[in-house]
Amino acid sequence: TPLIAGVPPARIAALAEWEAATYAAARPKCRAALASGAGAWLDGVPMHWMRDWPQPFPLVVARASGAQIEDLDGHVLDDFCLGDTGAMFGHSPAPVAKAIRRQARRGLTTMLPGMDALAVGALLQERFGPMLWQIATTATDANRFALRVARAVTGRRKVLVFSGCYHGTVDEAMVQLAGGQTVPRPGLVGQAADLTQTAVAVEFNDLTALEEALKAGDVAAVLAEPVMTNACMVLPDPGFHQALRRLASDYGALLILDETHTQSSGLGGYTRRHGLQPDMLVVGKCIAGGIPAAAWGMTAEVAARLHSYHQTRPAGHSGMGTTLSANPMQFAALRATLAEVMTPKAFARMEEGAAKLEAGLARAVARHGAPWHVVRVGARVEFICHPVPLRNGTEAAAAHHPALEAAVHAALLNRGCLIAPFHNMMLVSPVTSSKQIARLIAAFEAVLAELFA
Ligand code: PMP
């Protein structure tokens, strides 16, 4: 039988079986709690993603603080998943917890601004750039609203995305390439609309295909992560972003950069770090320290075009906004996060830790001769079970080995390290200690020793 990323399939299966049994044996309380309390939830979990972990049953979390999670059975895990970026600055950062306590008695939702809202506007400009901002509750919503604006001001209907992308459950962007054609992503539940009417997919780093697609003249916006992080991580070729900016402008499409994950690049995200010039910018997940909030901004030029558009539209619902968005609790948490948690010092610590993690994992890969490699974008590190860097989503999909990765994740968890379930990404928060990083490197090393013995 052929090897899977250098590993015999039988060895993967044996590891997975052993780790599942070990996990279950160590968690009688989690298992009992789920057996007695999970029956009201569809498939036993309140949100189906909670079943996407490789364990035989989910961890039941007793508490999470700093960069650790403790389960009901008393196992304390080093958390490198960090809520898949929602807790990128650590769980319950002290300034955020304090702000939440303070706001808790002063009103939770009002549909009106307060003083924190005014402060947050200025902080968003300071951190992410001189855009005109709006608040949403999830990055999914922020992307949907940004797309509406792009379609409104350009009078065009399509969004161009890179195959293998993920921008949240944004209906109109759920497409990918198959045999050179844009097709709906497989797996969508209850899909009715023909997504190829609203979206076109091209490969990341393929400027020829990008220009070809833009030439059609029906693309309202390119919606892109500066680095693809939702397949395996795919870095932009040198010059790719400059060309993307130029082509979008040449063909009259707006450029929306989704920095929901790539905020790990540093203060102001990849955009600021690399001097990119999007027309619109989306940030979400961690910007309020773990309280649901997202922000989307547009340049003054796009704002002016939107105001002109408003003159032409009939009265009625805009299709943007949700009732609890921009509530005072979000602003309390946003203000505390932006002012006191998301600081240059925090990013310096994250970057330093992540560089150590990257080096340690790469050393382990080399020592065991694994045909794998390691990439890093600021505080975000990923091991990829493929020998060379990936250039686009199709290559990334081919480099994804679910059974192998699930076994590795399960083995890491049993060695005290939690990493995100959907990919092989690890985040280093400002409160992740060197000891935690050393433990993850040692656990990874031990798992490789088993796989490549
Ligand atoms: N954009 C990107 C780049 C993401 O990775 C995600 C979620 N993984 C989203 C948007 C959507 O975020 P949310 O699920 O919080 O809406």
Tell me the per-residue pLDDT of 378-402, one tens digit each, with 9 for 90 and over. Answer: 999 999 999 999 999 999 999 999 9
**Which residues, in sequence order, are CB contacts of 45 under 8 Å at separation 6+?**
38, 51, 58
Where do the DSSP E strands lie in 124-237? 132-136, 158-162, 175-178, 181-184, 199-202, 219-224
Chain-centre distance for alpha carbon 229: 7
Site to probe by mutation for ligand 1, drawn from 49, 285, 377 as the one with most ligand atoms within 8 Å of Cβ, is 285
pLDDT at residue 274 greater than cutoff 90: yes
Binding site membership of 230 for ligand 1 (Cβ less than 6 Å):
yes
The whole-number pLDDT of residue 172 equals 86
283, containing H or E segment: strand 280-283
> How many C-alpha atoms does 70 have within 13 Å on its Cβ side?
8
Binding site membership of 264 for ligand 1 (Cβ less than 6 Å):
no
60, 34 in Cβ contact below 8 A?
yes
Query: Ligand 1 center to residue 248 CA distance, Å?
Result: 23
Backbone φ, ψ for residue 203 (5° rounding): -75, 140
d(CA 396, CA 309): 39
Site to probe by mutation for ligand 1, drawn from 167, 263, 422 as the one with most ligand atoms within 8 Å of Cβ, is 167
Tell me what the mean pLDDT of segment 2-27 comes to: 98
Token readout for 452 is 């490549």
pLDDT at residue 422 greater than cutoff 90: no
d(CA 136, CA 139): 7
Residues above pLDDT 90, as percent of the chain = 98
Query: Ligand 1 center to residue 184 CA distance, Å?
Result: 18
381, 361 in Cβ contact below 8 A?
yes
Query: Ligand 1 center to residue 362 CA distance, Å?
Result: 28
pLDDT at residue 1 greater than cutoff 90: no
Query: Ligand 1 center to residue 140 CA distance, Å?
Result: 6
Tell me the per-residue pLDDT of 129-167, one tens digit each, with 9 for 90 and over. Answer: 999 999 999 999 999 999 999 999 999 999 999 999 999
Query: Ligand 1 center to residue 166 CA distance, Å?
Result: 7
Structural domains of the chain sorted by starting position, each given as residue range(s) with its CATH number in brackets: 9-79+344-451 (3.90.1150.10), 95-341 (3.40.640.10)
Tell me what the mean pLDDT of segment 77-93 comes to: 98
Tell me the per-residue pLDDT of 221-262, one tens digit each, with 9 for 90 and over. Answer: 999 999 999 989 999 999 999 999 999 999 999 999 999 999
Binding site membership of 380 for ligand 1 (Cβ less than 6 Å):
no
pLDDT at residue 55 greater than cutoff 90: yes
pLDDT at residue 359 greater than cutoff 90: yes
Whether the model pTM is above 0.90: yes
